[in-house]
Structure 1
Amino acid sequence: MYQYSPFDRQFVQLRAQQFRDQLERWERGELTDEQLLPLRLQNGWYVQRYAPMARIAVPYGEISSEQLRMLAHIAREYDRPDQALLDSAQQTQDVLQASQPGLTLAAPPLKYGYGHFTTRTNVQFNWIPLSKAADVMDLLASVGMHGIQTSGNAIRNITCEALEGIAPDGIVDTRPFAEIMRQWSTLHPEFAFLPRKFKIAFNGSEEDRAATGWYDIGVQAVKNDAGELGFAVKVGGGMGRTPIIGSVVREFLPWNQLLNYTEAVIRAYNLYGRRDNKYKARIKIIVKAEGQQFIDQIEAEYRAIVEQDGAPHTISQAELDRVQASFVVPPLAAANLPSKTDTQSKPYQRWLAQNVRAHQRPELRVVTLSFKRVGWAPGDADADTLDALAQLADTFSAGEARLTHEQNLALPWVHASDLPALYEQAKALGLVQPNIGLLTDMIACPGGDFCALANARAIPIAAALTELYQDIDEVTDLGPIDLHISGCINSCGHHHSGHIGILGVDKDGKEWYQITLGGSDGSALSGAALPGKVVGPSFSAAEVPGVVEAVLTTYRDLRTSQAEHFVDTLRRVGHDPFKAAANGARLDAGHRTRQAAETASA
């Protein structure tokens, strides 16, 4: 993984010191809340429904065992709300739960002392007081971590697919390019106050596992007929209120022009971007409204940068070599630990088939640990688990791990001979559910349990569906299904790209949910990126599990064989049978509710 230079370390430490000074001035009354707002956001500090939320960047998902241990320390010592605050939050949760009769499985009690893995490879804490924020930033800086530009109208944490540099279908390892762009864009004045937030994703393999079509800029590695490396560039993707897939604006951009071209895109965005309406400020709205005119503006800006300015941001071979040298392959040695695991048992073989992937190096494997556990929200890891993950990384993966878009954690350097011992230790932590890529490997945002923007809660819905589909035989039989849940239209749970998407909406002050079907993130399984289609009016929380069950029963009835995946059956037969099943489930749920009410009154 990337090895921070003395300059990198000093930069992060100085930024933490600057933030401490800003907080102290605020506490003395020298800065107003309004003046502090952009300063804390630029360092990843929000104020959410109950308490501050800290968002910590994990660029391109890479994280070391040392960093995991620091996150565990922060979770244990700082992510601790005042008891009165926790009691108040729990009372609010209880009231919300009581407003949804029929949803028999309540959300777990509000927890603290843990981190949350997000879809964009950040780590979030939900209960750290602002009075402790500077202490936390100092601790993060000591291990090369920070929250710089994880919020605000700037270029956000830059992501890559989790298998960069190790995937068998890899074209090029794009992590060095992402790191060059991170260094270049951090605190760049052109990018400090954009019309709206701006997200960039890289994919270096033949299969798009980084969902590049859904980003403001999506960068896909390609090679031309001469074998030269370059990038296909997409612009204008995004979810939210208006889901749009990015448009390809360059089929082949020479790799050394990546920064010059990105600056051209941002210049055009700054020129056209609206600052009077945040709902129309994202670049996707401009691309949709202006079409070719906006793309022509990008090209004009690019020509000006190259021809008039002398292409000042051209990446030299020496610079690429310098950064690539920092992504050293760690010293690899098998742990050779004994194991009592029965490697012929069905649970182990299922885990091997579902959670273990091939590696560029034939003696190694990539192992994904599933953070979809009963009693926990998707992507949550408490302090003890974070410490245990650090130990697993040290023992089996040369001290390195990677956060994934699906809110799991992958170990990228595991010797095949160590798989039984790793399985045994991960099983003790409850992290070997053989469900990667299956229905219960769901994505979910924190929703209304924490987020002040949410219209509805996501965690109770995820919990109810996890409880409903505990039979791994059934989940395996259903095959690959992407289930994504968002608590509001901001789409942090990426519901638009789910084969089954669930969106929380407000209806007369109560929590309701829209169901979409047929979305795609652009992977080989799902096909070209596209948003799902709404199957009908919104459903109550109590109805959602039954609706999902009815949709999946319809799939089983209509598929030609077990080899025909859900999304393929949906595209073959169309939405109508699934829409009818969903609405039928609503009627059944209403009938059961009336029966229960009549029984209670009798």
Structure 2
Amino acid sequence: MYIYDQYDQTIIDERVAQFREQTTRFLNGELTNEEFLPLRLQNGLYVQRHAPMLRIAVPYGLISSKQMRAIADVTETYDKGYAHFSTRQNIQLNWPALESVPDILADLAKVQMHAVQTSGNCIRSTTSDQFAGVAKNEIEDPRPWAEIIRQWSTFHPEFAYLPRKFKIAVNGATDADRAAIRMHDIGVQLVKNDQGEVGFQILVGGGLGRTPILGEVIEEFLEQKHLLTYLDAIVRVYNLKGRRDNKYKARIKILVKAMGMDAFKALVLEQFNAIKDGEGTLTTQEIDRVKAHFKSPSYKTLSDSDAVVDQLKADNKGFNNWLTRNSQAHRQDGYVSVTLSFKKVGYAPGDATAKQIRATADLAEEFGFGEMRITHFQNVVLPDVEISKLPALWEACKKHGLATPTIGTLTDVICCPGGDFCALANAKSLPIAEQILAKFDDLDYLYELGDIDLNISGCMNACGHHHIGNIGVLGVDKRGEEFYQISLGGASGQDASVGKILGPSFKADDMGEIISKIIDVFVEKRTGEELFIDCVRRIGLDPFKERVYAKSN
């Protein structure tokens, strides 16, 4: 895990002092709302429906037990005792008082955390696979590369005021894309060339929002030393050519689509050729320096077979369900990664109480090496759990309400805060998630259905990533009433696709029943153990339309 040096700490401490002075001036009436707006956005502070919202950076989702405990302390001292894990692998506070935000940032700085570039028209926090570094079939750990990008992009003087926000994701696995790189402004995929050298495939022009577009490959194989200069060239072209007259058409995806990839790439190469061997070129020494922060922990020599665990799986259905759904194979024999579920009836998806946050930190130390990963699915991963310790971990997770065995199922819902909190939302998201969680509470039935991604957004900004949910739900406003539009066929992995709208929207009270009808069609039409996404792609939307829009007799 990357540890701040004296320069990192000084920069963050100085930023906190600067924002404290700016906040004081605003509260004293010396700065107008318009003047304070860019200053607060540079520090992750939004004005929401009921209170400010502070977005805290968790680079590529990696967080230590010490940092997690600091988050718990902050929620109790300055907020309402809970935090929210976001789809960007960050943490959000929904109720901080404006005058307390500098104190929050000062407390976070003590544990090497901040809110820099979590909002505003800049390069946002770089994201990656929640199983990075421990997953099987990885070319190599993508976290050092995400960290290199983070260091390059943080406070980059040329990219502090881009046409719109800008997001980069890095993936290292060969058999999965858990970072959704095709839906980012820039996607970075680790690859090997014919000589066995590790480099990068670069994608550009992806994104969600009002115009969801899959990114296209702009470079098939980029040498490691050129990573930053090539990214610099892409962002520089965007900064120069991106639209600033219309925020809805200001993302790089619109620029790439308007210009065409060939023309866009020509401009990138022009910029790249001018700087590729300059000061931004990565040296072996610099790459090794960053990689040294991500060395493997002291794994024991263990076997993947444990008689006690195997017997408990056979004897206890609950344990078997949890292990099947919430554990992931590990590259090291004798270990697995375990996902703690923050999806439970009665709670907003991704919300965690201070007590649960502290418990998570305790579990990371007792059953791992004190590190955790926040996932795009608003859960938390313990990356290094000894197989023999799984029964004890299961019992501990149950005690804290973190053992819901539904990872990857229909009720592992991705959901933005929606109209309950966000001033931009057209409709509430959380009540729809609650309906679905309550309606599909039969675990055996959920397991029979197999993997289904259901994503809910309260508006077209798509913070719930509804476009790439197998089932996507979008809140819309119809003459002051909240309605919900459904799309089917979206996916975020290696076979990424944008869902297609089913038809006219539905009232909030009908959503649970509508989702049930969609699932009924799937059950009737699937062949064998066919997944939902494969069934939709095979039969198309018409059977689903016929069922959900059928007139009652």
1:565 to 523, 531, 538: 531
User: Which residue in 2 is equivalent to 1:264?
Assistant: 233
Which residue of 182, 186, 190 corresponds with 1:217? 186
Equivalent of residue 577 in structure 1, options 535, 538, 543: 543
**Given the alignment, which residue of 501, 513, 517 partners 1:550?**
517
Q: Which moved more, 1:477-486 or 1:573-582?
A: 573-582
What is aligned with 1:438? 409
Structure 1 residues 332 and 17, CA gap change in structure 2 (3 angstroms): farther
Q: Is the contact between residue 159 and residue 200 of structure 1 (CA under 8 Å) also seen in structure 2?
A: yes
Q: Which amino acid in 1 is paired with 2:120?
A: G
Classify the secondary structure of the residue corresponding to 1:531. coil
C-alpha offsets along residues 58-107 of structure 1, whole Å, 9 cap, x if unaligned?
0010011111101101111111xxxxxxxxxxxxxxxxxxxxxxxxxxxx
Deviations along 1:501-539, one digit per CA (max 9) or x if unpaired, are 00000111110000000001024xxxx211100111011
Q: Which residue of 2 aligns with 1:153?
A: 121
1:3 deviation in Å?
Answer: 2.3
Q: What is the alpha-carbon distance in structure 2 between the residues aligned to residue 384 and residue 267 of structure 1?
A: 45
Match in the other structure for 1:518: 489
CA distance in 2, matches of 1:40, 1:573: 48
Match of 1:121 in 2: 89
Match of 2:249 in 1: 280
Unaligned runs of 5+ residues in structure 2 are: none
Residue number among 454, 462, 470 corresponding to 1:491 in the alignment: 462
Q: Aligned match of 1:143 in 111, 118, 122?
A: 111
Q: How does 1:160-171 map to 2 (within 5 A)?
A: 160-171=128-139
Aligned counterpart in structure 1 of residue 196 of structure 2, from 208, 212, 227: 227
- Root mean square deviation, CA, Å: 1.7
> Which residue in the other structure is 1:429 paired with?
400
Q: 2:264 aligns with which of 285, 294, 315?
A: 294
Shift of 1:38: 0.6
- The worse-fitting range, judged by mean Cα deviation, of 450-459 and 431-440 is 431-440
Name the residue aligned to 2:4.
Answer: 4
**TM-score when scaled to structure 2?**
0.96
2:312–2:320 CA contact under 8 A, matched in 1: no
CA contact (8 A) 2:169 2:186 kept: yes
In the TM superposition, residue 146 of structure 1 has moved relative to its aligned partner by 0.3
Distance in 1, Cα, partners of 2:30 & 2:92 = 28
8 Å contact 1:245–1:530 — kept in the other structure?
yes
Deviations 1:110-138 (A, max 9, x none): xx321000111110001000110010000
User: Is the 1:2–1:328 contact (alpha carbons within 8 Å) kept by the matching residues of 2?
Assistant: no
Q: How far, CA to CA, are the matches of 2:273 and 2:540 in structure 1?
A: 45
Deviation at 1:328, TM superposition (A): 3.2
Which residue is equivalent to 2:205? 236
The Cα offsets for residues 184-231 of structure 1, whole Å up to 9 and x where unpaired, read as: 111111110000000000001112111000000000000000001111
Aligned 8 A contact 1:454 1:487 in 2: yes
- The residue type equivalent to 2:333 in the other structure is P
Quote the Cα distance in structure 2 between the aligned partners of 1:331 and 1:68.
22
Give distance in 2, aligned partners of 1:349 and 1:363.
Answer: 17
Corresponding residue SS for 1:512: strand
Aligned to 1:35: 35
| 1:430-457 superposed Cα distances (whole Å, 9 cap, x missing partner) | 1111111111111000000000000000
Name 2:51's counterpart in structure 1: 51
Amino acid at match of 1:50: H
Partner Cα distance (2:194, 2:475) in 1 = 47
Q: Give, in whole Å, the separation in 1 of the partners of 2:405 and 2:337.
A: 14
Which of 277, 282, 295 matches 1:328? 295
Distance 2:312 2:279 in 1: 59
The 8 Å contact of residues 62 and 374 in structure 2, kept in 1 or not, is answered as yes
Distance in 1 (alpha carbons) for counterparts of 2:125 and 2:144: 14
CA distance in 2 between counterparts of 1:365 and 1:5 reads 32
Give the match for residue 20 of structure 2.
20
Aligned partner of 2:223 among 231, 246, 254? 254
Q: Distance in 1 between matches of 2:317 and 2:7?
A: 51
Find 1:535's aligned residue among 485, 494, 502: 502
Matched-pair contact (CA < 8 Å) for 1:547–1:581: no
CA 1:333/1:228 → structure 2, altered by over 3 Å: closer, same or farther?
A: closer
1:57 deviates by: 0.4
| Secondary structure of 1:367's aligned partner | strand
Structure 1 gap segments, 5+ residues each? 80-111, 592-602
- Superposed CA deviations along residues 208-260 of structure 1, whole A, max 9, x for unmatched, are 11100000000000000000111110100001110100011001111111100
Cα deviation, residue 570, structure 1? 1.2
Does 1:475 pair with 2:446? yes
1:133 and 2:101 equivalent?
yes
Which residue, 346, 352, 365 being the options, matches 2:336?
A: 365
Q: Which residue of 1 aligns with 2:475?
A: 504
Amino acid corresponding to residue 302 of structure 1 in structure 2: F
- CA offset digits 1:344-382 (Å, max 9, x no partner): 301101111111111110111100011101111110001
DSSP 3-state at the match of 2:233: helix
**Does the 8 Å CA contact 2:164/2:247 hold for their aligned counterparts?**
yes
Contact 1:66 1:143 in 2 (8 A): yes
SS state at 1:433 partner = coil
